[in-house]
Structure 1
Amino acid sequence: MENSSDFMLYRLIQDKDKDALEQLYDRYEKILFSFLLKMTEDRALAEEAMQEVFIKIWRGTGEYDESKGKFTSWLFTMSRNSAIDLIRKRKKPTVPLDEINDMADGDSSVEQKAEWQEQKDQIQTAVERLSAEQQKMIQLFYFKGHTHEAIAEICDLPLGTVKSRIRLALGKLKKSLHGVQEGGAIDD
């Protein structure tokens, strides 16, 4: 297996061959890390992105199709996308719903601050009316900044289910915030 092609190693990894994963990792560790470090300018972020890539390969969530191009192109594209996701995640504010602070600047009028507080309370009430599952999806996606894929992994749910629950929750929030439904719990 020492001189195995990347594609052969990839196929062995799909069959949960740890030696194949180790060999693929050893083959690309230095160049991928260098690429990710240059891209992120952050050693920890580069390491995290690289780890995500190999976890995706191991779990089979990152699928390579030999007919669509070279393995190395796919590997670098997947690495680039993982780095971009992590960079975006770090830039996205992660404010828990119950800790939304007054975001108005110090020069804002009392009226603006009161309006913000009222909007915050309305959003919090609307979210509290959602089912526990939908609240969790909204918390993870909007207030913790997780991607759909990350939520699927965290909750051990299919990606389509996560997207559907978020879409359903948003629809219910929209109705609630526009006064269509008043009081009580929002139905599932």
Structure 2
Amino acid sequence: MGIYDFEVKTSKGEPKSLADYKGKVMLIVNTASKCGFTPQFKELQDLYMKYKDQGLEILGFPCNQFAEQDPGTNSEVQEFCRLNYGVTFQIFEKGDVRGDTAQPLFKYLVEQQGFKGFDENHPIAAKLIGALEENFPEILEGDGIKWNFTKFLVDREGKVVARFEPTASPANMAADIERLLGQ
């Protein structure tokens, strides 16, 4: 099974095949609107605006699984992203990204690119690691998604080529994106 075999749901609950993105570079992100990393929406939107005409698609998947940091309805999440960060890239239906209830797409992404550690130089990294150790130690085990704003980069052929943890700034991913876009 490959990435193009997955079907996901739009924020309106309509089915969307990832095959529709064949030939595009995709950045797939689990998002949340009330998280310390939520300002990454602006950086993601900046990347989208800079590279969308060259073939970049950003796919946002809201998730309320981590400390209930995205409690709104699908329409509330859409409105929040649009009004607060000017998001124009695709935001899909909210769902789980970790554990037994994870959306199949995210199970696949984690199988393709496991956890390689946090960037401990990020200003929020120590706080995140401390909170996980104290409140959610089970999250630190294995390759599962650790928190909101984990990002997966997929090349034009559908291969998941990189995983970036929440502590990786989207702005710092530009060189990787440019390489996949063929610049």
TM-score (norm 2): 0.22
Which structure has greater strand proportion?
Answer: 2
Larger radius of gyration: 1
Greater relative contact order (CA < 8 Å, ≥ 6 in sequence)? 2
